Amino acid sequence: MLSRHFLRCKVLQELYSCQLGEKSEAEAIHSFDYHVQHLNELGVLQVALMVKMLEVGEAVIEAGKKKFRPTAEEKSPNRKFLGNGFLLRMADNYELKKLVDEHGGCWQTHEDLVREAFIEFRRQDVYCQYLSHPERSFQEDKEVAIALFRFLMNREALVEAMGGRSLLWEDDFEQIAQYNFMMLKTLEEETLNEAMPWPVMYDVRLEKDRADMEFARELLRDTFAGRQECNELIKSRLQGWEFERVAMIDVLLIDMALTELMHCPSIPERVTVDEYIELAKEFSSERSHLFVNGILEKLLLELRSQGKVKKSGRGLLGAGGEEVQA
């Protein structure tokens, strides 16, 4: 499920940490693997919170009925949400239950936060409108469940509770929430059942996930090993600028891009260059993407003339930066 763009981000962060402290190639690869696989736990924690709301909702409703002076609504509560077919199917999914048992236990120690979130969600328009329709449909159940997920992911207290499990998750929380959000939207009545393989962030059962992970490992390994060569190439193209004054992030981005250009023949040049321009916009200074683009265009022509970049198919760059067909 993790995109190659996201994995490139993780490789960049790992290389940056290597620059800040002594770390061997093997240690860098091990750290990268641990960080990526640990994201499955964060993904499960986010989804487990949705299922937990059914349990907490039941407790809130029962507590209301036991009040000394319950309101008419508390005496005869609307239980439509507790019968939400989408959430109940999630709760019954065998793999998700197993994952929640392994990773989702944190919510047992944050019952107060979840209860507060449920009470606040009941005040939302989307919840009130949902209860106002006596009829039920899977699509309606799905829509309110997804609205619930978005609501929960924007509760700072809940986000902090999850972040307390790992300092590594602060930068990744929003991206993993977005992945989960898109995943939940793909679940349909015909497929969401107890036997469905539950989607996780990195699924070793999927060939694509394995291939993308291996791509990222190789990118990290080859960039780590070839940094000196790539840095010399960068120095050769700096005009009126000392290498030591170039931002570390910009150097690492160019190192990664050059490595990808030289070691990944199946990835079009245009894709690689565009990726690292975007990463420069995300992680570096305002004008860094222009610097990264300029250096890469110059070095790409040089490396191609030396036979160090061998690509085929669409996405090649011509002398003027235009796309050409090999």
Q: Is 102 helix (H, G, I), strand (E, B) or coil?
A: helix
Residue 300, C-beta contacts closer than 8 angstroms, at least 6 positions apart: 261, 269, 273, 309, 317
Residues 205 and 197: beta-carbon distance below 8 Å: yes
Residues 7 and 216: beta-carbon distance below 8 Å: yes
CA distance 229 to 231: 5
Residues 51 and 90: beta-carbon distance below 8 Å: yes
Task: From first to last of the 326 residues of the chain, give the pLDDT tens digit.
Answer: 899 999 999 999 999 988 877 788 899 999 999 999 889 999 999 999 999 999 999 999 988 888 889 888 878 888 999 999 999 999 999 999 999 988 756 688 888 999 999 999 999 999 999 999 888 899 999 999 999 999 999 999 999 998 888 877 888 999 999 999 999 999 999 999 999 999 999 999 999 999 999 999 999 999 999 999 999 999 998 877 788 889 999 999 999 999 999 999 999 999 999 999 999 999 999 999 999 999 999 999 999 999 999 876 555 554 444 554 43
What is the structure's pLDDT at 4? 95
Cβ atoms within 10 Å of 266's Cβ, excluding its own: 8
CA distance 207 to 241: 45
Homologous superfamily of the 211-324 domain (CATH): NusB-like (1.10.940.10)
Q: Is 323 helix (H, G, I), strand (E, B) or coil?
A: strand
- Domain boundaries in the chain? 4-186, 211-324
Cβ atoms within 10 Å of 267's Cβ, excluding its own: 16
CA distance 259 to 231: 11
